[in-house]
Amino acid sequence: MERFSLRFVLMMVSIILTSSICQAQLSPTFYDQSCRNALSKIRSSVRTAIARERRMAASLIRMHFHDCFVHGCDASILLEGTSTIESERDALPNFKSVRGFEVIDKAKSEVEKVCPGIVSCADIIAVAARDASEYVGGPKWAVKVGRRDSTAAFKALANSGELPGFKDTLDQLSGLFSKKGLNTRDLVALSGAHTIGQSQCFLFRDRLYENSSDIDAGFASTRKRRCPTVGGDGNLAALDLVTPNSFDNNYYKNLMQKKGLLVTDQVLFGSGASTDGIVSEYSKNRSKFAADFATAMIKMGNIEPLTGSNGEIRKICSFVN
């Protein structure tokens, strides 16, 4: 019995040490020697894309989120469907919704020119999200890199509740984030990415027409012009009506005025929600929001990365080698 216990203890120590080594492999300086120009090449591609279309900043941040929440930050979301791969792009939360693939492809192409086979697509997504935030006035942070790319996609997981639903309650959102190692403050901070970007009519139609007490009547009336009761499912509306192209803290001010566009936005504030205090804090303190957003993005980027000899470094982001 004692011999068995000793073997068990040694096994657990080995697992803990292995996990620690994997996490240690993610570092802001990972490419300093192997591909010194990697981050600048990615940054250039991202800035060019957002200069062409401002909405792309939100899309790139959202892509990082949708990648990390399904089987970890492994670029599985980039894989196109083949005879052996069911693409996550076709999963309900992503279909005709996640965008920016061509920006990642362009960044990968530029990086491959200077150091082929070195920089993962998973890292490019993570760096692109940071660069997108910075370009539109949001926070910047030292991205930890060193991830490797998945050789599989996980469409079934993407469809099974790993990603938030547009009608989720606060408890459901908190539970989902907790499963990923993210706390309630991370949830509220990351939701602040909705200070930029747009949403499709079918995602917020019910909120406009349900005559609920948690939505400002004037706000609802304005949104109805682009989102009728029937048709126009793909019509877009800015998530932040006031400053839709600038990464600021107006999103939280909107929530306090019952002007959250999505159900999952407004559940963060009102009727004594447990997150009311955080929303109020961020509405008054843009710097605190920015700092917490950066911290939460770093934590999210650490969700189950592939490191060491796991996975691969894809030559083309949309296909396995």
Please give the positions annotated as active site.
66
On whether 228 is known to bind a ligand per the annotation, the reply is no
Nearest by Cα to 194 from 131, 259, 143, 145:
259
For 66-69, which contacts have Cβ atoms below 8 Å and span 24 or more sequence positions? 66/93, 66/94, 66/98, 66/158, 66/163, 67/122, 67/125, 68/180, 68/300, 68/301, 68/303, 69/162, 69/163, 69/176, 69/180, 69/303
74 marked as binding residue: yes
216 annotated binding-site participant: no
Dihedral angle computed from the Cα positions of residues 7, 8, 12 and 17, in that order, rounded to the nearest 10 degrees = 0
Q: Is 137 annotated as a binding residue?
A: no
DSSP letter for 302, please. T
240 a known binding residue? Answer: yes
307 is in an annotated binding site: no
Q: Does the annotation list 305 as a binding residue?
A: no
- 195 known ligand binder: yes
Query: Using CA atoms, how far apart are residues 44 and 167, in angstroms rounded to an integer?
Result: 37
Q: Specify burial of residue 86 (Cβ count, 10 A radius: 0-12, 13-18, 19+).
A: middle
Output helix, strand, coil percentages for the chain, rounded to the nearest 5: 50, 5, 45
| Residue 184 known to bind ligand | no
Outline where DSSP puts E strands in the chain.
198-200, 236-238
Binding residues for substrate: 164
Binding residues for heme b: 194
Binding residues for Ca(2+): 67, 70, 72, 74, 76, 195, 240, 243, 248
